Amino acid sequence: MSESARFRADDLRKFCCAALQASELPPLDAEEVSVCLKGKAIHADWSIDADGNPTTDANAALAGSVLPFGGAKASAISFIIEMLCGVLTGSGFALNLHRLEDFGAVQNLGQVFTAVHSDLFISSNDFATRMDEILRMLTSSPAVAATSQLLVPGELERQNEGRNRIFGIPLVPSIVEQLAELGESLGLAFPNAADATDLAETPA
């Protein structure tokens, strides 16, 4: 989600994951896990208060929202994705990956696509109704300061696609030059580009 939204703390659900390890690691420190329950100061990037401001006060955080990403949480989610797409698939991972700009190297990238058969849990109609409900909750949530619009995952991309279908895909000059050279080598003329100064905003 591009912008931050505030939810009631009791409406939140945690994103939880764990990984089996080949070698033994020290267990989690129970003192660290329970820091919020004991009223101690929390990291400023963990939560926001009821007004959408970063807070180190655990009680203020409970009245606001736990941030969905950032800090150790984002690192943990990134690690799980690396496990699924790299380790699990037998592809390259972490420091074994090459830079995308290295055209002479085999990238060996892995992908994982997951599909959930919602009918195994609830009916399709119920799922659609509940999805509509949670999307309405999200988009009607009070926005933090300097935020004009709350977006759901994929919405910004759909907006950009709609704009690009009308005005074309914006390209930086260096990319245009590379494409023009490639086209010339293949005997293909590069299409005339529109002047970006002539493009108006996509109608809402």
- Give residue limits of the domains in the chain: 9-166, 169-195
Say if residues 104 and 78 touch (Cβ distance below 8 Å).
Answer: no
CA 77/CA 16 separation, integer angstroms: 9
Q: Please state whether the predicted TM-score (pTM) of the whole model is above 0.75.
A: no
Per-residue pLDDT, 68: 66
Instruction: Write out the chain's pLDDT in tens, 204 residues.
Output: 333 333 333 333 344 444 444 444 444 444 444 455 556 788 887 788 888 888 888 888 888 877 766 667 777 888 888 999 999 999 999 888 887 778 888 889 899 998 889 999 999 999 999 999 998 888 888 777 777 778 888 888 989 999 999 988 888 889 888 998 999 999 988 887 665 555 544 444
| 54: β partners | 48
48/150 Cα distance (integer angstroms): 16
Dist. CA 186–CA 159, nearest whole Å: 33
Cα of 73 vs its chain's centroid, Å: 12
Residue 65: Cβ within 10 Å count: 21
What is the token pair recorded at 151? 């977006």
Segments of 31-76 assigned E as strands: 47-48, 54-55, 65-66
Q: What is the three-class DSSP state of 181?
A: helix
Tell me the sheet residues that pair with 52.
none
